[in-house]
Structure 1
Amino acid sequence: MKVSFSVFPTPRRTSETPTPNRTNLVSGGAQYQSPNAFARRRFSGSAVGGAPVFVRGQSTFGQTLFNSIAILLGVGMLSEPLAFAYAGWGVGTLLIISYGFVACYTAKILARIILQDPRVRSYSDIGRKAFGPGVTPIISLMFCLELFAVCVILVTLYGDSLHALLPRYSSNSLKIWGLLVLIPTVFLPLSLLSYTSILGIMSTILMVVVIFIDGFTKAEAPGSLWEPLPTDIGVTNYRELGVAFGLFMAGFSGHAVIPSLARDMIDPTRFDSMINWAFVVATTIYTAIGFAGYLMFGNNVSDEISMDLLRTTGYNPWLNQLCLWMLVLSPLSKFALNAQPLNSMIEILLGTDTPFASPEDLADKPDGLSVAAIGSSFGWKRAIGIAQRVLLTGAAVTVSIFVPEFSAVMAILGSFSAFMLSIVGPVVANVAIEGVCGPFDAVIIAAGIVMAAWGTTAAFW
């Protein structure tokens, strides 16, 4: 069986192939299009006279690669050592490499679908194209659950990290006090929140560096790469193996952003190469952290390896405390950024979303802020919107308090959301659109559903 992973095959020139020129428009692949043309323009959802219009992309190969890596590398790396402890060396290594390979394959599927049809702009559009408008609420619900789970994880990470630095205060009380910081941030505009994402990238890089510095500078166990603790080659508990499915898979979620990345490339014919490098980098970093953490702390590794680094003596305390403070500030800064699309989606469902106004409309208003007439329902919508954002933030903190296990929430996120949205969903959509299901795709669908059900059940157990 021959499986092709190329999204953009190079067309063969024949005597009947029209000569490419700057006026050629592609519709369903019926006309030849020079690959170099993508460097000048790309599809847009707009049309003139019923024909799709090309719009120039904004991101280079390197910029898209950096954004892809930044999306893939997140807080999921903290639980990679625990995933290896649950799965063992053999199965764990097989799983993390297989998940990276398959997730890369499904990312290319999404890119191919969205670049072939100028009307498709997002993940939801792909679902609508494949299954009709009735699937949109289901996809929206799954995205809401995924975003809410991420918010809960960020609260848990903040509370656990700060508790490790200030042990006199309980993790739950620190989570409640964190509302004083979290609630104001959910009202900040995205233009300000985007600057805070650099903290997340810095904390990720610092965590990787600290793990290896600690492991190589400590000569004796525990926490040393020179004197590893006992580990397992195979699986010792099949319920824990199900949890490992979700822990490994959580690091490779993020396919909801793939359509935007593909459309914004100046030359989307290079998407395959770009996403290959992104997943190679992410898989390598996740595997390195998992290997190092499992060797250093063995089968007793914590849900978050950062907690083990702080509790173990013999390390540089200043370096580890700096790393933990970054893990405190990073979730606080990223919470609002992750909650923003969820809040917007809820406001649309409730009908409380505020319409945007042009600068000309605002210029005529005394306060320069409101476009609503006095006595209109705009004030009530704003009040409901404020209450909704406060309640959602409180709900994330509440769930984090009642479900304090970092690995449990990560496993649920990876098992249910990541498998369905990043593995099974793209393949099923492609099968529905193409009308053909090859053996490789059938195996991915069957294995993805089984692992999602197994992992979700084990995580809730």
Structure 2
Amino acid sequence: AACWYTGLLVGRCMDADPAIRTYPDIGQRAFGSPGRLLVSSFLYAEVYLVAVGFLILDGDNLDKLFPGSSVALGPVSLAGKQLFVVLVALMVAPTTWLRSLGVLAYVSAAGVFASLVVVLSVLWVAAVDGVGFSGRGTTTPLRLAGLPTALGLYTFCYCGHAVFPTLYTCMKQKSQFPKVLASASSICC
């Protein structure tokens, strides 16, 4: 709900002045040049750190799927999480060189399809193969050791904010922006 509401506020800011096309524009409108610089700094730091977070997440998960993986190229050897972080970075880097980002729609569609396959696989294993969730003794209502991971996953939900101004400016019918936000929020939350 918070993501949806703040998205609506971004839309209202952009409605107020057609010259506003990005978050730095909103920062400049609100606080002048220092606001533009501050908002730009935070936005670019967020985008960079999200990319780093994705690389770490991919490295961790692929290392769990393929334990003990390693590659040696001359004096350089990579193993485990570091290997997969480098491989994923090498696979993703060319997508940043595309002149038209429309091609990324196909990459996105592949990601949606892969997510659907994973969800269906988990449901199949749980329903058909009899692997389910069973209690393993007592559980603690609050495990502080898992708090950083939980907070990271929770804040990860707000990473879509970076695209709101671009999405808004690309829409032919800007009046539909609240409906798009509501649809996306209901699907993702």
- The alignment's TM-score, normalised by the length of structure 2, stands at 0.75
Q: Which amino acid aligns with 2:170?
A: D
- Are 1:246 and 2:152 matched, yes or no? yes
**DSSP 3-state at the match of 1:254:** helix
Change (3 A) 1:255 1:173: closer
Residue of structure 2 in register with 1:191 after alignment:
100
Structure 2, unpaired ranges of 5+: 70-78
Deviations 1:107-142 (Å, cap 9, x if unpaired)?
A: 101001101211111111111111111122222222
Q: Given that residues 115 and 263 in structure 1 are in contact (C-alpha distance below 8 angstroms), is that contact kept between their aligned partners in structure 2?
A: no
Count of aligned positions: 178
Question: How many percent of aligned residue pairs carry the same amino acid?
Answer: 25
After TM superposition, list the pairs within 5 Å mapping 1:178-327 onto structure 2: 178=87, 181-182=90-91, 185=94, 188-191=97-100, 194=104, 195-220=106-131, 224-225=132-133, 227-229=134-136, 232=139, 234-237=141-144, 240-241=146-147, 243-283=149-189
After TM superposition, list the pairs within 5 Å mapping 1:55-454 onto structure 2: 101-169=1-69, 170-175=79-84, 178=87, 181-182=90-91, 185=94, 188-191=97-100, 194=104, 195-220=106-131, 224-225=132-133, 227-229=134-136, 232=139, 234-237=141-144, 240-241=146-147, 243-283=149-189
Cα distance, 1:160 vs. partner?
Answer: 3.2
Q: CA RMSD in A?
A: 3.0
Looking at secondary structure, tell me which structure has more helix per residue. Answer: 2
Cα distance, 1:241 vs. partner?
Answer: 4.0
**DSSP 3-state at the match of 2:97:** coil
Cα distance, 1:176 vs. partner?
Answer: 6.8
**DSSP 3-state at the match of 1:270:** helix
Deviations 1:384-411 (Å, cap 9, x if unpaired)?
A: xxxxxxxxxxxxxxxxxxxxxxxxxxxx
- Tell me how far apart the structure 1 counterparts of residues 25 and 98 of structure 2 sit (CA, whole Å): 26
Q: Given that residues 62 and 84 in structure 2 are in contact (C-alpha distance below 8 angstroms), is that contact kept between their aligned partners in structure 1?
A: no
Q: Which amino acid aligns with 1:211?
A: V
- Tell me how far apart the structure 2 counterparts of residues 187 and 105 of structure 1 sit (CA, whole Å): 30
Q: Which amino acid aligns with 2:98?
A: P
Cα distance, 1:179 vs. partner?
Answer: 7.6
Cα distance, 1:199 vs. partner?
Answer: 2.7
Q: Given that residues 168 and 177 in structure 2 are in contact (C-alpha distance below 8 angstroms), is that contact kept between their aligned partners in structure 1?
A: yes
Which of the two has higher C-alpha Rg? Answer: 1
Change (3 A) 1:217 1:263: same
Residue of structure 1 in register with 2:75 after alignment:
none
Change (3 A) 1:126 1:230: farther
**DSSP 3-state at the match of 1:178:** helix
Q: Which amino acid aligns with 1:200?
A: G
Structure 1, unpaired ranges of 5+: 1-100, 284-461
Deviations 1:67-107 (Å, cap 9, x if unpaired)?
A: xxxxxxxxxxxxxxxxxxxxxxxxxxxxxxxxxx1111111
**DSSP 3-state at the match of 1:141:** helix
Q: Given that residues 121 and 260 in structure 1 are in contact (C-alpha distance below 8 angstroms), is that contact kept between their aligned partners in structure 2?
A: yes
- Tell me how far apart the structure 2 counterparts of residues 191 and 201 of structure 1 sit (CA, whole Å): 20
Q: Which amino acid aligns with 1:116?
A: A
- Tell me how far apart the structure 2 counterparts of residues 268 and 234 of structure 1 sit (CA, whole Å): 44
Q: Which amino acid aligns with 1:278?
A: A
